[in-house]
């Protein structure tokens, strides 16, 4: 194949050819709603938790420990120990997590599919190597050919981790489906730390593998590796934030490394990196500016200053960086490498291409004199020496200790010694005043570093696992941590069917308009996000700060509903029985829905109520929706249309496109808009569960008009009489071809029964998304 030809578009079989996505790149994409289905998964009806319980966990750990020092000819271990490499592998697996949307993280073993390895498909641009400390982009005159040279200069963060995973294969092979890749990548990092002398805080398994690259994660709008021209020009407010219409007002010069704002939901400073540029922002070796980027990116990973310093100082107590020679020796990433490479990439032409000649980041740093043993030496050296800017053999910026002796061992040659070295991002821990406070404290109190590092490491690996009921294995720590969003265990017998029937009656007798119960149940349950499994109805956190004050929850209406339900709760508990408000909120939704539909709605009790102390208000702020099309809340931003927010939310709720469709249609008929508006309530009998939304939406006698591309007016084609109003989140179901096809299903004359059944099933799914305790 000649270079420069895009093989996918050329092929006339196998899904080749120019696709809808090429013709209409801006079309609303539903593909993220049909990922990780049975069609991708080789295990049918596989219960990973059950398989994990039969795992010889200690045997596995023993094998992993032995692997650490079992250096292989094809990829020799530095210092005879793979520990550093495996820690970096685990850290990069977990470190893609970001708080804003709960996506990323190590929960699905996505590193196998390397989302950050996607092929660059933007011809005509060439990534030019670092010149004078800054990155530069240049349009390449020869057009398409240059796109294939990009990978030569690319510096995607996962270089060499393909080797780490391949080293693990014999062990994965041995234990088969009893240990997922997702769990194994992280556990291996844990075992690496333990094998180098630091007991960890614990480990929990329970992450079933995914089998295809996750498409839902926004990694940035740049089309070149290491670019960052979009993420900083859009700033915090570009995507979510306040949703201001004037995007330009927020344009910031991304080269202003001291004040730039990273757009949400991103947590990395460059396309293709997991965190920040180790050489400093945009390659500029400025430790204080580096601290600024680190604070932003680690903050987006849910880490505060103390956790951040502990993670970096702890992590870089181990291992080394790799930049034996110029980076242009490094070949294509796995995604672009030839079949004969068998999924390995970044082949290195420099000398032996491995061991002492390895090129990964292009930086050549070894932090401590004992890189395979836990110690406090990273911080000792950081403060003991003054640092001088030098270049790696590959020409990257790094720092060398002034006037130091050569006390650092070589990774392969016992007769060679090196000077202590650091990354610009390491110096940030000393030269940023806030980081300095923390790191000096750790310097003087090695025990505190060990404690803070092992805790932060545990959080890093488990942040996206959701409630404890998902955690598996013999090493689960007993201490409950605030970031788990804990809910109390149920301390009372569950309500039975008789209680449920009686409570439903009580609820409907409160005089509160039933639709409000439906809105509140939705508001409570729909905070769930599939990525990190936070949110949901359990805990009844909707009655606590910050959720009770969210605009989308209509605080006035919410407090009316909650106080009515508290009344029901009190009355019920005057007997010997107990019911949680969390259960009552969902039950009230069911009761109202039954009344509106005539169909019976399932209910599973067992939720409990969390306290405000068990609720990290800061971290719960990230769950507030900027827009929620299910409730017709929020609107487009200059970059994101309302319907894209709607699909994004459907994805967070792990809904399929048919579930999305039936829920929106049903919620509109039920009159459940957040503010009671009639947008999209395309029915003459609001409050009843009918398929009227679809019937009226598909009625060709209505003509729709808009003045602002956000709200629309529907008039009778013949008489001109005003019939309806609607939003983008309504009309997309008639406009988008696939959503229209689904709307036609529910708008057909034979569909009322199917519609009600499907709505109730989807509703029940949302109500129970966080009930991992039921499995």
Tell me the catalytic residues. Answer: 92
Q: How far apart are CA 156 and CA 333, in angstroms?
A: 9
Select 376 or 538, whichever has its Cβ closest to ligand HEB.
Answer: 376
Instruction: List the end-to-end C-alpha distance of the chain, in Å, as a whole number.
Output: 50
Select 111 or 361, whichever has its Cβ closest to ligand HEB.
Answer: 361
> By rule CB under 6 A, what count of residues binds ligand HEB?
27
Among 296, 327, 425, 711, binds ligand HEB (CB under 6 A): 425
Select 64 or 588, whichever has its Cβ closest to ligand HEB.
Answer: 64
Strand partners, 398: 390
- What's the closest the beta carbon of residue 419 comes to ligand HEB, in angstroms? 17
Q: How far apart are CA 12 and CA 208, in angstroms?
A: 36
- What's the closest the beta carbon of residue 381 comes to ligand HEB, in angstroms? 16
Based on the shown chain and the rule CB under 6 A, indicate whether residue 422 belongs to the binding site for ligand HEB: no
- 390: DSSP letter: E
Q: How far apart are CA 741 and CA 758, in angstroms?
A: 16
Q: How far apart are CA 404 and CA 416, in angstroms?
A: 15
- Contact characters 81-110, ligand HEB, x per CB under 6 A: ---xx-xx--x-------------------
CB atoms within 10 A of CB 182: 24
Select 160 or 223, whichever has its Cβ closest to ligand HEB.
Answer: 160
The region of 180-188, 254-262, 360-368, 610-618 touching ligand HEB under the rule CB under 6 A is 360-368
Select 298 or 724, whichever has its Cβ closest to ligand HEB.
Answer: 298
Give the residue from 87, 169, 161 showing the smallest Cα distance to 372.
87
Based on the shown chain and the rule CB under 6 A, indicate whether residue 268 belongs to the binding site for ligand HEB: no
Among 287, 314, 530, 714, binds ligand HEB (CB under 6 A): 314
Structure tokens at 716: 């009778």
Structure tokens at 490: 């149920």
The region of 11-19, 53-61, 314-322, 645-653 touching ligand HEB under the rule CB under 6 A is 314-322
Based on the shown chain and the rule CB under 6 A, indicate whether residue 315 belongs to the binding site for ligand HEB: yes
Select 239 or 452, whichever has its Cβ closest to ligand HEB.
Answer: 452
Sequence-ordered list of residues with C-beta below 8 angstroms from that of 243, at least 6 positions apart, any chain: 237, 626, 627, 634, 635, 637
> Secondary structure of 605-653 in the HEC alphabet?
CCCCECCCCCCCHHHHHHHCCCCEHHHCECCCCCCCCHHHHHHHHHHHC
Among 135, 275, 458, 620, binds ligand HEB (CB under 6 A): 275
Based on the shown chain and the rule CB under 6 A, indicate whether residue 455 belongs to the binding site for ligand HEB: no
Residues 605-644, interacting with ligand HEB (CB under 6 A): none
Based on the shown chain and the rule CB under 6 A, indicate whether residue 165 belongs to the binding site for ligand HEB: no
Q: How far apart are CA 379 and CA 337, in angstroms?
A: 40
Give the residue from 441, 446, 447, 475 showing the smallest Cα distance to 461.
475
Select 179 or 311, whichever has its Cβ closest to ligand HEB.
Answer: 311
Give the residue from 364, 375, 373, 379 showing the smallest Cα distance to 419.
364
- 72: DSSP letter: B
Based on the shown chain and the rule CB under 6 A, indicate whether residue 294 belongs to the binding site for ligand HEB: yes
Among 94, 311, 552, 610, binds ligand HEB (CB under 6 A): 311
- What's the closest the beta carbon of residue 416 comes to ligand HEB, in angstroms? 17
- What's the closest the beta carbon of residue 95 comes to ligand HEB, in angstroms? 7
Based on the shown chain and the rule CB under 6 A, indicate whether residue 320 belongs to the binding site for ligand HEB: yes
Long-range contacts of range 91-94, CB-CB < 8 Å, 24 or more positions apart?
Answer: 91/189, 91/315, 91/460, 92/157, 92/158, 92/161, 92/274, 93/182, 93/185, 93/186, 93/189, 94/186, 94/460, 94/461, 94/463, 94/464
Inter-residue contact 628 to 526 (CB < 8 Å): yes
b/e per residue 414-447 (b: at least 16 CB within 10 A): eeeebbbbbbbbbbbbbbbeebbebbbebbeeee
The region of 27-35, 243-251, 308-316, 660-668 touching ligand HEB under the rule CB under 6 A is 308-316
- What's the closest the beta carbon of residue 83 comes to ligand HEB, in angstroms? 7
Select 83 or 634, whichever has its Cβ closest to ligand HEB.
Answer: 83
Residues interacting with ligand HEB, by CB under 6 A? 78, 84-85, 87-88, 91, 160, 275-276, 278, 294, 311-312, 314-316, 318-322, 360-361, 363, 423, 425, 457
């Amino acid at each position: 194949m000649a270079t420069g030809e895009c093989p996918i578009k050329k092929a006339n079989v196998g899904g080749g050819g120019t696709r809808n996505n090429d013709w209409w790149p801006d079309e609303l994409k539903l593909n993220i709603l049909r990922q990780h289905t049975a069609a991708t998964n080789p295990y049918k009806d596989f219960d990973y938790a059950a398989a994990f319980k039969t795992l010889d966990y200690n045997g596995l750990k023993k094998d992993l420990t032995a692997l650490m020092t079992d250096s292989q000819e094809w990829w020799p271990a530095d210092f005879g120990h793979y520990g550093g490499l495996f820690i970096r592998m685990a850290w990069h697996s977990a470190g893609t997590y970001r708080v804003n949307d709960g996506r990323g993280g190590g929960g699905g073993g996505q590193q196998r599919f390397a989302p950050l390895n996607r092929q660059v498909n933007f011809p005509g641009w060439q990534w030019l190597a670092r010149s004078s400390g800054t990155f530069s982009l240049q349009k390449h005159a020869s057009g398409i050919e240059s796109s294939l040279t990009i990978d030569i200069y690319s510096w995607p963060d996962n270089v060499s981790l393909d080797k780490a995973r391949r080293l693990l294969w014999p062990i994965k092979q041995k234990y088969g489906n009893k240990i997922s890749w997702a769990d194994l990548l992280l556990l291996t990092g844990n075992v690496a730390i333990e094998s180098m002398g630091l007991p960890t805080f614990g480990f929990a398994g329970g992450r079933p593998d995914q089998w295809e690259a996750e498409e839902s994660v926004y990694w940035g709008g740049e089309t070149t590796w290491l670019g960052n021209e979009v993420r900083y020009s859009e700033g915090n407010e570009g995507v979510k934030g306040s949703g201001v219409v004037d995007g330009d007002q927020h344009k910031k010069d991304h080269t202003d490394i001291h004040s730039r704002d990273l757009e949400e939901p991103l947590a990395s400073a460059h396309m293709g990196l997991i965190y920040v540029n180790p050489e400093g922002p945009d390659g500029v070796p400025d430790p204080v500016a580096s601290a600024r980027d680190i604070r932003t990116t680690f903050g987006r990973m849910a880490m505060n200053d103390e956790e951040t310093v502990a993670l970096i100082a702890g992590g870089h107590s181990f291992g080394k960086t790799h930049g034996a020679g110029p980076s242009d020796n490094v070949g294509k990433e796995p995604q672009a490498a030839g079949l004969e490479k068998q999924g390995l990439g970044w082949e290195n032409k420099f000398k032996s291409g491995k061991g002492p000649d390895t090129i990964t980041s292009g930086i050549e740093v070894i932090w401590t004199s004992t890189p395979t043993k836990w110690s406090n030496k990273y911080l000792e050296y950081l403060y003991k020496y003054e640092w001088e800017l030098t270049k790696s053999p590959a020409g990257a910026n790094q720092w060398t200790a002034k006037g130091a002796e050569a006390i650092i061992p070589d990774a392969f040659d016992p007769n060679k010694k090196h000077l202590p070295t650091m990354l610009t991002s390491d110096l940030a821990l000393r030269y940023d005043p806030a980081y300095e406070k923390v790191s000096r404290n750790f310097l003087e109190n090695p025990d505190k570093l060990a404690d803070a590092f092992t805790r932060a490491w545990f959080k890093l690996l488990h942040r996206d696992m959701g409630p404890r009921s998902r955690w598996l294995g013999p090493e689960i720590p007993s201490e409950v941590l605030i970031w788990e969003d804990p809910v109390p265990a149920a301390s009372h017998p569950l309500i039975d069917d008789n209680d449920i029937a009686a409570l439903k009656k009580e609820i409907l007798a409160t005089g509160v308009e039933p639709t409000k119960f439906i809105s509140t149940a939705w508001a409570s349950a729909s905070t769930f996000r599939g990525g990190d499994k936070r949110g949901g109805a359990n805990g009844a956190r909707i009655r606590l700060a910050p959720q009770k004050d969210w605009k989308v929850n209509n605080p006035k209406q919410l407090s009316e509903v909650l106080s009515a339900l508290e009344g029901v709760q009190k009355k019920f508990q005057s007997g010997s029985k107990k019911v949680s408000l969390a259960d009552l909120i969902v039950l009230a939704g069911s009761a109202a829905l039954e009344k509106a539909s005539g169909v019976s709605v399932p209910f599973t009790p067992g939720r409990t109520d969390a306290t405000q102390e068990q609720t990290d208000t800061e971290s719960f702020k990230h769950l507030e929706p900027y827009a929620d099309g299910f409730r017709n809340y929020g609107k487009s931003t200059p970059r994101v249309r309302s319907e894209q927010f709607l699909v994004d939310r459907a994805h967070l709720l792990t809904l399929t496109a048919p579930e999305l469709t039936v829920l929106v249609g049903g919620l509109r008929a039920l009159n459940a808009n957040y503010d009671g508006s009639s947008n999209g309530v395309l029915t003459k009998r609001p409050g009843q569960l009918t398929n009227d939304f679809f019937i009226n939406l598909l009625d060709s006698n209505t003509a729709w008009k808009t003045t602002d591309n956000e709200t629309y007016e529907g008039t009778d084609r013949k008489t001109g009489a005003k019939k309806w109003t609607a939003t983008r989140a309504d009309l997309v179901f008639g406009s988008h071809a696939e959503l229209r096809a689904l709307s036609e299903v529910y708008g057909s004359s034979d569909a009322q029964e199917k519609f009600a059944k499907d709505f109730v099933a989807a509703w029940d799914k949302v109500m129970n998304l966080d009930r991992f305790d039921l499995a």
